[in-house]
Structure 1
Amino acid sequence: MSGLLNKLSPAIRANKSDDLPLFYTDQSMGFQRGHRNTPKVSVTLAELLMSMEYDQNGRSQALDIALASNFFSSVSSYPLTSPSPFVLSFKDLTYSVKIKNMFNPLPCCGSSDGDGMEMNTKILLNGISGEAKEGEMMAVLGASGSGKSTLIDALANRIAKESLHGSITLNGEVLESSLHKVISAYVMQDDLLFPMLTVEETLMFSAEFRLPRSLSKKKKQARVQALIDQLGLRNAATTVIGDEGHRGVSGGERRRVSIGIDIIHDPIILFLDEPTSGLDSTSAYMVVKVLQRVAKSGSIVIMSIHQPSYRILGLLDKLLFLSRGNTVYSGSPTNLPRFFSEYYGHVIPENENKTEFALDLIRELEDSPEGTKTLVEFHKQWRAKETLNQTTRNTNVSLKDAINASISREKLVSACRAGPEILRDRSSRGETNLKSTFQTFANPFWTEILVIAKRSMLNSRRQPELFGIRLGAVLVTGTILATMFWKLDNSPRGIQERLGFFAFAMSTTFYTCAEAIPVFL
């Protein structure tokens, strides 16, 4: 099966030395946006498993090749309209926090409440609205402190609902927290990876942790191999992640590994916080190109980004500019020059990066006395006019029907309790219950502990010098504690001293393992 995967990989390389063969999959695409109205299909986890089932049942090799070729090699050339697309909508999102002003130079003549503190309200999001569809990538742009990360956190259900006002719906229905965790994934800005594990081992541990036990190890390995090709990490599959003291993969490859860890279970919605920060232009383009593949496989990709290059701008479907928590532009990148030309009165120069021009203009308005109020009001009027000119098509697809359609093409099999055949039968009879179909956690607690322990031990075994230092510190601390609590009697004082010994021992163990807590989580 591995030979079949290598032959039918979506990464059609121009030569064997290519690291990320994203520039050779579809030469006709380039930077044109003509094909963007037609969603394109990439291989899902269950489609890969279906191919494996054919192979195990002894079907003809020609059928395997035809099936795999349909899903793998034609990723960027086989258009297929999704029968039940997902639409994530958010309307009038408002989020504010209260800040305590602790400084009071004259407390005796200070506030009337007597506590010496003043409460100030800071608005982080102010009436943000937008829409993202399946197969599209939405980028949130703005200066530092404009609310990009806060908006991503709000959409990813990482903000308390009682503090967030507005509505977030998927196909017109409010998502429950448990279902939101199953069908979405969140990629943080920092790459928290074990340095001494290879790319393949890192993704394999993620598969064992996130994919259910009903999938065999062979199927999980096949999923990892397909994901490595999808991420363009074939040449770095056996390379360790690396850190300051060990040479490993590049920064762009590390970021793609972090993305692969979170999309191993094939989510419907993918949120990313600054996926291109700290990367050069080429590495950033490769990361966004991978995200485009993820979107075309039937997902919604929403990310925050700083000043995308011209090439990256050609990959994005929607832009959302924020300024101090307010929306100053939302729409297609192709309409960005017309929007600012109507507002600014001048055409954006052709040799100017459109996003950089827009961000510079927004920064100048923020420094002015009036701020961006006029731009915010102009955007509301402009959006109202554009909405009237557009012909909206209501698909009337409920969330249940859309998920059933995804189950029928077996995209969400990694999070389902039952097998795909049972789910298809339930869907055909209209008996699919979302709560009973999906499980919040793919594996029981003890299985997750075993996977994490195995991962940590493998990483420590490949760092003998660090392991030796930690072991020596524990032995020295144990020797000191043993001499302090030697030959305790059975009196009440001896019992109290034993409790002190356990407190010292537990605190020593905690501080020894505290360094691995961020990666552990």
Structure 2
Amino acid sequence: MMASKGPHEHLDLESNSDEDAHLSNNAIHSLTWKDITATVKGRKSGSARHILQNVSGYVKQGELLAIMGASGSGKTTLLNFLSHRINPSTYECSGNVLVNGQQVPTSQLWSLSSYVEQEDALIGSLTIEETLYFAARLSLSKTITKQQRKRRIELLLSSFGIRDQANTLIGTPIRKGISGGQKRRVSVASQLITAPKILFLDEPTSGLDSTASFEVMSFIQSVARKSNILVIASIHQPSSATFRLFDRLLILSAGQTCYFGPPSHLKSFLDSVDCPLPEETNPAEFILEMTNVDFAKNRTGALRRLKFIQETWSKNHAESLNHEMVLVEEAFHGKLLSDEELPKATFFSVVITLLHRSFIKSYRDVVAYGIRIIMYLGLAIMMGTVWLRLHTSQEYIQPFINAIFFGSAFMSFMAVAYVPAYLEDRATFIKERANGLYGATSFIVSNFLIGLPYLFLISILFSIIAYWLSNFRPNADAFFVWVMWLFLDLVAAESLVVLISSIFPNFVVSLALTAFANGLWMSVGGFLVSPTILNVFWRYVFHYIDYQAYVFQGMMVNEFSHRTFTCASSPGSPSACQCMYQTDLAAQCKISGKGVLDAYGYAEHRTGKWVGILVGIIAVYRLFGWIALMLRKS
């Protein structure tokens, strides 16, 4: 249960420093919306279905607006529309949303606002305190000092009743963490610490008991008053005490307005529609009963009553609401902060912060790299013992080639294990980008950089086991060239995961397409079918853009360009030789490894060119992944 906080402690979130005064200015005076309509087409009927119909309203600085209604009434859709987060491919929308009486670009609204989603999108491997710390670092690096940031974190931890759990992990599928109600508090606190001017809350009290709900909303009210924040919250069934905290109330049913105005005027409106509020009854419960017809015993009567309420509101109050909105929009004659004036962290500081956070996540979250390291070590032991101590006689030439193929192709194929970790990181990015914290460039750069040391570690560990057990060319230069190719192979494979998962952010689809793509690269890479005889279509369309092909031929040159093999003796004449490959060493009953390379059409001294092409492929994968993130907003 949350400890009760006095009003003065609630108001201490903002100090009187110059930096905090800048954050508390009156840049946002009002948010108004008029005739919001959203429709979707039914999959079977094809006819339009109204989710929202001509919804209007407003909220002013320092106020809390509650959007109430039964499930399916359009609360979340309206919240998404107001915050410019609605998916245009799903809904056909119309209506205007104005900030200070004027339209603003989506990017600027996102910079001014924060959105707490109904589903908690938190990083499970971080502690509560770390979650608040990184939220502050990503948004306020330029505007507050370390001491101010620490003070805000401490105050939020105390005010939301999570001080004692500050060092507890949020929780992952493998490691138990905090409760669902505590996650709700952390989600709200992590957005408040970013000092938004508009705060959107989707069911902020779900999972909380009545006392905790009141404390959370009471603290939000205090911050809203002090910092002139506009708060819009969809809320299902608040307690009577929580209900009284809101300044304005918007009641929806089937996407239509049943009431808009102060909660104190609700009783008189209910009286006017012959639905008097009983004494000692929670207004929120009564509202849900009046507007929810799904479980009504007399559905026809309930629908008739609901229609009467909506028509009465539209007939008697819609015009006065429009007049109020005009006055609200005209009351402010200043202008919005420009993007340059908004407090933002620099690109460099954002990348460093993301790297720091990803580093903590990576070594704590065994799914991201821990399981992969164990998996690759198991693969190395299997490879090293299957191709154990290969000899330099000609019957081992093909096993050497097979081992090279297995060591490169299957290592990259197993990169599909990175799909769930990347999708989790992407979900966090989508949420934080929508809250104006950073863009796709910062995410792609930090995601690329944080993976490099782990992939290099995997390459080294795998090679230490598999390379020497299999008896590849035994010198340091050859070993580290092998490690280089394996490292580039893994970087390319992980970059392919980033590309596919950015375009198709669904676990099953991403996994299937990544596996298919790697199967394609294995087929045309040069091992299963030599490039010299590969079908023209597959060679010129796919082989030359196949990163596995360059890894395979690089490893082949590394192994065979400086190695010789002994030929077999002829059964009929022990002194005669039978050589699988005819080279200039045939007279010595030996095979030059260059003959193997000639059979595959691989030339020597092209390592630099192949590395350059491979780096280019990696860059293209990341670039296309960046473009996909830029174009896809959800």
State the TM bucket, normalised to the shorter chain: 0.5 to 0.7
Does 248-257 or 385-394 show the bigger shift?
A: 385-394
Q: Aligned pair in 2 of structure 1 residues 314, 478: CA closer, same or farther (>3 Å)?
A: farther
Shift of 1:289: 1.4
Letter in 2 for 1:134: Q
Does 323-332 or 185-194 show the bigger shift?
A: 185-194
- 1:209 is paired with a residue whose SS is helix
Q: 2:419 aligns to what?
A: 510
In the alignment, does 2:281 pair up with 1:355?
no
Q: 1:271 aligns to what?
A: 200
Q: 2:378 aligns to what?
A: 476
Q: 1:44 aligns to what?
A: 14
1:291-306 mapped onto 2 (5 Å cutoff): 291-296=220-225, 297-306=227-236
Q: 1:154 aligns to what?
A: 81
Q: 1:308 aligns to what?
A: 238
- 2:356 is paired with a residue whose SS is helix
Q: 2:341 aligns to what?
A: 437
1:264-413 mapped onto 2 (5 Å cutoff): 264-296=193-225, 297-344=227-274, 347-364=276-293, 367-368=299-300, 370-371=303-304, 372-384=306-318, 396-398=330-332, 401=334, 403=336
Letter in 2 for 1:473: M
Q: 1:96 aligns to what?
A: 39
- 2:273 is paired with a residue whose SS is helix
Q: 1:136 aligns to what?
A: 63
Q: 1:206 aligns to what?
A: 135
Tell me if structure 2 keeps the 8 A contact 1:199–1:257: yes
Q: Aligned pair in 2 of structure 1 residues 397, 179: CA closer, same or farther (>3 Å)?
A: farther
Shift of 1:456: 3.9
Q: 1:3 aligns to what?
A: none
- 2:47 is paired with a residue whose SS is strand
Shift of 1:461: 4.4
Q: Which whole-Å deviations, capped at 9, do the CAs of 1:82-115 have from their partners, x for residues lacking one?
A: 97761100000011112322xxxxxxxxxxxxxx
Shift of 1:384: 4.5
Does 255-264 or 189-198 show the bigger shift?
A: 189-198
Q: Aligned pair in 2 of structure 1 residues 484, 272: CA closer, same or farther (>3 Å)?
A: farther
Tell me if structure 1 keeps the 8 A contact 2:68–2:250: yes
Letter in 2 for 1:205: F
Tell me if structure 2 keeps the 8 A contact 1:41–1:298: no
Shift of 1:316: 0.9
Q: Aligned pair in 2 of structure 1 residues 394, 127: CA closer, same or farther (>3 Å)?
A: closer
Tell me if structure 1 keeps the 8 A contact 2:201–2:233: yes
- 2:260 is paired with a residue whose SS is strand
Tell me if structure 1 keeps the 8 A contact 2:40–2:50: yes
Q: Aligned pair in 2 of structure 1 residues 185, 514: CA closer, same or farther (>3 Å)?
A: closer
What is the rounded CA distance, in whole Å, between the counterparts of 1:261 and 1:168 in structure 2?
Answer: 26
Q: Which whole-Å deviations, capped at 9, do the CAs of 1:206-238 have from their partners, x for residues lacking one?
A: 122222357554443344334445545444434
How much identity, in percent, do the aligned residues show?
31
What is the rounded CA distance, in whole Å, between the counterparts of 1:390 and 1:158 in structure 2?
Answer: 26
Q: Aligned pair in 2 of structure 1 residues 385, 170: CA closer, same or farther (>3 Å)?
A: closer
Tell me if structure 2 keeps the 8 A contact 1:48–1:223: no
Q: Aligned pair in 2 of structure 1 residues 280, 136: CA closer, same or farther (>3 Å)?
A: same
1:420-435 mapped onto 2 (5 Å cutoff): 434-435=338-339
Shift of 1:334: 1.1
What is the rounded CA distance, in whole Å, between the counterparts of 1:203 and 1:88 in structure 2?
Answer: 27
Does 88-97 or 236-245 show the bigger shift?
A: 236-245
Does 249-258 or 223-232 show the bigger shift?
A: 223-232
Shift of 1:335: 1.3
Q: 1:176 aligns to what?
A: 105
Q: Aligned pair in 2 of structure 1 residues 220, 321: CA closer, same or farther (>3 Å)?
A: same
Q: 1:21 aligns to what?
A: 4
What is the rounded CA distance, in whole Å, between the counterparts of 1:299 and 1:375 in structure 2?
Answer: 32
Shift of 1:355: 2.0
Shift of 1:368: 2.0
- 1:119 is paired with a residue whose SS is coil
Tell me if structure 1 keeps the 8 A contact 2:204–2:235: yes
Shift of 1:474: 3.5
Q: Which has the higher helix share?
A: 2
What is the rounded CA distance, in whole Å, between the counterparts of 1:442 and 1:396 in structure 2?
Answer: 33
* Alignment TM-score, normalising by the size of structure 1: 0.67
* Higher alpha-carbon Rg: 2
In the alignment, does 2:179 pair up with 1:197?
no
Q: 2:149 aligns to what?
A: 220
Q: Which whole-Å deviations, capped at 9, do the CAs of 1:132-152 have from their partners, x for residues lacking one?
A: 111111111111111010000
From 100, 112, 115, give the equivalent of 1:186. Answer: 115
In the alignment, does 2:360 pair up with 1:458?
yes
Tell me if structure 2 keeps the 8 A contact 1:230–1:293: no
Q: Aligned pair in 2 of structure 1 residues 215, 321: CA closer, same or farther (>3 Å)?
A: closer
Tell me if structure 2 keeps the 8 A contact 1:49–1:219: no
From 47, 51, 60, give the equivalent of 1:120. Answer: 47
Shift of 1:331: 1.1
Size of the alignment, in residue pairs? 414
What is the rounded CA distance, in whole Å, between the counterparts of 2:135 and 2:322 in structure 1?
Answer: 46
Shift of 1:322: 0.8
What is the rounded CA distance, in whole Å, between the counterparts of 1:488 and 1:175 in structure 2?
Answer: 68
